[in-house]
Amino acid sequence: MKVGVTKEKIGDFFTSYGWVELLLAIVSVVAWYWPITAIDQIRSDERINFFIECYGFKDEKFQSQLQDDLADNGVEEVNVYSYSPSDSLINSYYEAFGTKSDFLFLLSSDLDTMFEKPSAALLREFLVWGDALKKEVMPNFSAASFYEVEGVPYALKVYDPDNASYSQRIEDFAVFHTDEKSEAVYLLLNATTPNYGSYVDGSATSNAVAALSMLIERYYL
């Protein structure tokens, strides 16, 4: 005959074994939760993020080398979020990661959609490639081409399917085309992150400007 569970039996079990199971449960929760909280503890001004529409990210050393180069500036982490433009969830990925990234590599067709009816609020989210910025990060990149919104340069062309020499070195960074799909890709600078120094009011660091200089020197100069 089965005997029902009594308070005395529960107490005896906990005294004998329950503390062990409780300890294991606590350890399991900590092991799962700690990495998430550790990531969150890295502030937005201590990381540099890249959102890239491409068909494969290639430069495996890029993140670690950039982080090493900027470590003395307080950069703790460099993240690359790369997704295929054909992915059905690309818009969700952009909302999750692109809006928080310093650098946005986007297809020309996506820029056309984004800036079809540009509001002042939308334009404020992105940094203009003004003369001062160009002089600082790309003084010798005379062949540079830009995506313009109302006559203002908002994005640097990084891949040109019709100009192999222009795109030759960036092919070592990421794959921006397939046999079936090929269009221009541009680099848009997200002014809502705190890393653009004197170019954006309220910035905490100029680490994105330093990273941009390194990126252009690595692949274009």
Mean pLDDT for each 10-residue chunk of the chain (221 residues)?
A: 47 52 52 48 88 95 95 95 95 95 97 96 97 94 93 96 89 91 95 97 96 93 63
Q: Give CB contacts under 8 A, 24+ apart, made by 150-153.
A: 150/118, 152/128, 153/128, 153/129
Q: To which residue do tokens 């005959």 refer?
A: 1
List all residues 6 or more positions away from 127 whose beta carbon is below 8 Å from its beta carbon. Answer: 133, 189, 190, 191, 196, 199, 200
pLDDT of residue 20: 52
pLDDT of residue 44: 82
The CATH number of 44-219 is which of 1.10.287, 1.10.1660, 3.40.190, 1.10.10?
Answer: 3.40.190
Q: E strand or H helix at 195, and its extent?
A: none
CA dist 185 and 159 (Å) reads 5
pLDDT in tens, 48-99: 999 999 999 999 899 999 999 999 999 999 999 999 999 999 999 999 999 9
pLDDT of residue 11: 55
